[in-house]
Structure 1
Amino acid sequence: MIAPGFAGVEAQLWIWIMAMIRPGAALMAAPVFGATSVPLQVRIILSAMIGIAATNSATINLPDATLVSYTGFLFIIGEIVCGVAIGFALQIGYSAAFVAGELISNAMGLGFASMADPQSGQSSPVIGSFLSIIAVLLLLAIDGHLMLIAIIVRSYEALPPGDAMLSPRLIMDLVEFGAMLFSMGLVIALPVGAALIIVQLVMAMLARSAPQLNLFSVGIPVAVLAGIVLLAIAAPVLADGVMRAMETGLEQSEVMAGEG
């Protein structure tokens, strides 16, 4: 027999568990929180905290049938899709740093040099890993992680649980935003990449004017040295481009949360 004071505990626990689905999906798809180095227990605790806070701003009505039913399945799928869309929008803006790093690495002749990326656990060009670390620091500096949590909480008002299926317009907005990934990466890499292309052209003209010059023994060190110097000079411009890309990702996350 359940004590009278605990009669509604089970129902409240189910509400909190269902409220954890959207934040959990968003944190898994978002940068920093979704990194392989972040323990699963931390993401579960954060999801519970965000979900419990969100229940104060929105009423969560569980399906009348059991969760192992068609309505329960739609409820869970809607929450997962909504959370993944919010986190993935920010992830696209964050990934622009990887695209820029790969372009710069290829222009420097370091396309073959790769290292393990702490966010994804996969190997990536060294310049891409360098820019990704800068992106993480800038995201934390502008309180992007807190802004993402606030967007998730506010999404419960615009897209209440049980009616959180994204409209075709929002899905198309996310697809079109994904197409901007390469353009944002190109804009970030443009200052250093354009200068490195000029360096490569100069080396090509030297190779044509002096055929006895070994292009591989001279060109690669010059390109690497020029790339390092240019990265140091253009660091403020690169940081500004990365920050603008992540701010655009946060704006797209607000659109996915139904606030746009």
Structure 2
Amino acid sequence: MMPAGFTGVEATLWLWMVAMIRPGAAFLAAPIFSAPFVPVQLRLVIALAIGIPGLGAAQFHLPADGLASIDGVMLVAGEVMAGLAIGFAVQIGFSAALVGGELIGNTMGLGYAAMVDPTNGQSNPVLSQFLSIFGTLLFLSVGGHLALATSIVESYRALPPGDAWLSAEAIRGLVYFGSTLFAAGLSIALPVGFSIVLVQIVMGMLSRSAPQLNLFAVGFPAALLAGVVLMAIAAPLIGDSVLGAIRAGLDESRQLALGHG
């Protein structure tokens, strides 16, 4: 509970700090919030705005010896663990778009073309960056940021501060969910990637029937053109696959917030 009056200012500040730990840890791992272009001050304000209602619902009280004690350190560690798990589950579903874009780009012959992705500050293939931006728009359009905030607030009931340690089943479920990242990325890239492989097989047959044909001069533009056309045709299917991966990440994050494995 929030103490009233000026005599409780110090205790209130400690409570605010505890309230920011779990949302702040989730934002370190979650998509969009963890991007370098999001100011740290903005993350702290949003974390405080999300953490205070959740902490109030949990009826939390500071440890008797304060945070600079064994109980306080364990409390902070549990809060960080719960927040990172919730945010990381969403990040796994979001990263399927990056995997799918990398697979498509390598098949098209654009594996060498890389740009700096503003969402993570790393150098990614151009198609991965394109699908990452596409996934960001889908994430915001379905209210993924609001669903993440809801999961964080609900987690305070199932995982109250001081007892926020995830069970072994929950951790194992998160690890198993990480294995679905590659399957989701493959499903995103499959419509375009498989068709480009067929184009490359046809070009290989042409090169065998006409040895004087320069495979690199003809095959690369053909694969590139086929990839662009196929991505335009398969855009609705790719969008559905990316959206399905994002929703799967949000569902896994909600299950962790509710304390389920």
Q: TM-score, normalised by structure 2?
A: 0.96
Query: Is the contact made by 1:148 and 1:250 (CA closer than 8 Å) also made in structure 2?
Result: yes
SS at 1:120's partner residue? coil
Retained in 1: the 8 A contact 2:170–2:259? no
- Aligned partner of 2:7 in structure 1 is 7
Q: How many residues align?
A: 257
Identity %: 56
Residue by residue over 1:136-166, the C-alpha shift from the partner in whole angstroms, topping out at 9 and shown as x without a partner, is: 0000000110010011001000100000011
Residue number in structure 2 paired with 1:124: 124
Letter in 2 for 1:203: M
What is the alpha-carbon distance in structure 1 between the residues aligned to residue 14 and residue 220 of structure 2?
61
Query: Which runs of 5 or more residues in structure 2 are unaligned?
Result: none
Residues 6-61 of structure 1 show CA distances to partners (whole Å, capped at 9, x for unaligned) of 12222122112101100000011100111111111110110111111212321112
Counterpart-to-counterpart distance in 2, 1:78 and 1:185:
31
> Following superposition of structure 1 onto structure 2, how do residues 185-200 of structure 1 map, counting pairs within 5 Å?
185-200=185-200
- CA distance in 2 between counterparts of 1:213 and 1:21 reads 63
The answer (yes or no) to whether the contact 1:61–1:162 under 8 Å persists in 2 is no
Map of 2:237 onto structure 1: 237
Please give the alpha-carbon distance, in whole angstroms, between the structure 2 residues aligned to 1:217 and 1:247.
Answer: 42
Q: How far 1:259 moved relative to its partner?
A: 5.1
Across the aligned residues of Structure 1 and Structure 2, the Cα RMSD in angstroms comes to 1.1
Partner amino acid for 2:48? Answer: A
The offset of 1:65, in angstroms, is 1.9
Deviating above 6 A after TM superposition, structure 1's stretches of 4 or more consecutive aligned residues are: none
Distance 1:36 1:223 in 2: 34
Which residue number in structure 2 is paired with residue 157 of structure 1?
157
Q: Name the CA shift for 1:17/1:43 in 2 (closer, same or farther; >3 Å).
A: same
Distance 1:38 1:108 in 2: 33
Q: TM-score, normalised by structure 1?
A: 0.96
- Name the SS of the counterpart of 1:164 in structure 2: coil
Equivalent residues in 2 for 1:31-42, closer than 5 Å: 31-42=31-42
Partner of 1:140: 140
Q: SS of the residue aligned with 1:138?
A: helix
Residue 72 of structure 2: aligned partner: 72
Pairing of 1:61-100 with structure 2 (within 5 A) = 61-100=61-100
Question: 3-state DSSP class of the match of 2:43?
Answer: helix
Q: What does residue 17 of structure 1 align with? A: 17
Whether 2:213 is the aligned partner of 1:213: answer yes
* Equivalent pair of 2:100/2:188 in contact (CA under 8 Å): yes
Corresponding position: 1:226 with 2:226: yes
Letter aligned with residue 124 of structure 2: S
CA–CA separation in structure 2 for the residues paired with 1:93 and 1:175: 13
Contact 1:32 1:136 in 2 (8 A): yes
Question: CA–CA distance in 2 between the matches of 1:95 and 1:229?
Answer: 24
> Is 1:62–1:162's contact at 8 Å kept on the other side of the alignment?
no
Letter in 2 for 1:29: A
Distance 2:123 2:5 in 1: 54
Indicate the residue corresponding to 1:60 in structure 2. 60
AA at the equivalent of 1:42: L
Distance 1:154 1:112 in 2: 44
One-letter amino acid of the structure 1 residue matched with residue 51 of structure 2? G
Which AA in structure 1 matches 2:140? L
Alpha-carbon distance in 2 for matches of 1:104, 1:194: 9
Q: Structure 1 residues 198, 149: CA separation in 2 closer, same or farther (over 3 Å shift)?
A: same
**What SS does the corresponding residue of 1:64 show, helix, strand or coil?**
coil
Residue 239 of structure 1 aligns to which amino acid in structure 2? G
Structure 1 residue runs of 5 or longer lacking an equivalent are none
What is the DSSP-based 3-state SS (H/G/I as helix, E as strand, rest coil) of the residue aligned with 1:97?
helix
- How far apart are 1:205 and its partner, in Å? 0.6
